[in-house]
Amino acid sequence: MTRILTVAGAQLGPIQKSEGRDVAVGRMVRLMERAHQRGAQVVVYPELALTTFFPRWYEEDISNADNWYETALPSNETAPLFEAARKYNIAFHLGYAEKTPDGRRFNTAAFVDPSGEIVLKYRKIHLPGHKEYEPRRQVQHLEKRYFEVGDLGFPVVRAPVAGVDVNVGMLICNDRRWPEAWRELGLQQVELVMLGYNTPSINQDRKGFEAHHLRVLHSHLSIQAGCYQNACFGVGVAKAGVEDDHELFGHSIIANPQGEMIAQATTWDDELIVADCNLDQCALGRSTIFNFAAHRRPEHYGRITGQVGSVEPPRWQPPVNAAE
Ligand code: CDV
């Protein structure tokens, strides 16, 4: 029997700093209702979906930022989302800031089944930005201040979703740019990668100009290549639009195992994109060009895990002519 999963990406428009979780959750519930009407069995929300992208705001004392974090799922404020999932029999992926009982902070995503059970959790590994306030920057990006590097690796689990067994995995935002992260999932036969992102429309590092269209291209290129090279579907879902004067570029997509874009958002607002994902399409790439067991050469990949930064290559030396 063909395994077809109908997947929705629920892009969110901006959430302002002054807006509470009730605003975000209300909008997310409405998107879930529309996803149900369109036959979706899974809804994917963005990274840090419940609040504004708070790592742009500096707090000297990190405990002053506690209001941005979830200490429990569900909570009173997120309960309506869990209730809607039960009502519509929809699984969902939620990005949120997590504060653990022992006070650790992570940029986290949870995959939740319709009964409210957390099936899989992932904590972001590639944290961009910086830890201390940087005056030279146009906008701060303090993920390294507000979060620890994830400690769960890149887990994949085979989970029943609407009667279909699916190998699900997750990445979060900047992770999508790192082929190593995708390959970790590919090596576990992932079939559906869910990922949320908050990506500014401009390069905020102020080290050079990067055009808006190229930033969108890089996002799509990364997701489409990740899907092709690991023979899986990918759902990349943005927070979009202008949050307190800071623009996020949107352009959420769903990509198939051939690397094709099969759905794309066209607004900077709350928007649903939906696609039927035939999971059996993952088999072709996995059994031919990306048959890892047949073709990978890990004995030559030592630098991938043994080295962090790049190194200069040795200078080429002309051969010494023995005849002279
Ligand atoms: N939230 C993110 O991880 N954002 C990064 C930006 C800072 C480049 C991204 O990779 O989209």
- Give the nearest ligand 1 atom to 55 CA: 1
Does residue 321 register a pLDDT over 70?
yes
Query: pLDDT tens digits for 36-93?
Result: 999 999 999 999 999 999 999 999 999 999 999 999 999 999 999 999 999 999 999 9
Across the strands, what pairs with 170?
Answer: 194
**Nearest Cα to Cα of residue 57 among 27, 18, 23:** 18
Q: 324 falls in which pLDDT band (50, 70, 90)? A: low
Catalytic residue IDs: 47, 124, 173
Percent of the chain with pLDDT over 90: 95
Give the per-residue pLDDT at 323.
Answer: 63
**Average pLDDT for residues 231-242, to the nearest whole number?**
98
Query: pLDDT tens digits for 154-193?
Result: 999 999 999 999 999 999 999 999 999 999 999 999 999 9
Q: Which of 173, 176, 223 best tests ligand 1's pocket when mutated (most atoms within 8 Å of CB)?
A: 173
136 by DSSP, 3-state: which? coil
Q: Could you tell me the maximum CA-CA distance found in the chain, to the nearest angstrom? A: 86
Alpha carbon distance 233, 223 (integer Å): 9
What is the Å distance from ligand 1's center to 199 Cα?
A: 5
Alpha carbon distance 57, 311 (integer Å): 34
User: Is residue 37 exposed (0-12), middle (13-18) or buried (19+ Cβ within 10 Å)?
Assistant: exposed
Q: 120 falls in which pLDDT band (50, 70, 90)? A: very high
CB of 174 sitting under 6 A from ligand 1: yes
**Nearest Cα to Cα of residue 241 among 50, 12, 25:** 12
CB of 197 sitting under 6 A from ligand 1: yes
What is the Å distance from ligand 1's center to 111 Cα?
A: 21
Using alpha carbons only, give the angle 48, 84, 161 rounded to the nearest 5 degrees: 80
pTM, two decimal places = 0.97
34 by DSSP, 3-state: which? helix
Q: Which of 54, 146, 172, 198 best tests ligand 1's pocket when mutated (most atoms within 8 Å of CB)?
A: 198
- 76 token code pair: 């009173």
Domains, the chain = 4-306 (3.60.110.10)
Least confident piece of the model among 88-92, 199-203, 299-303? 199-203
Q: 262 falls in which pLDDT band (50, 70, 90)? A: very high
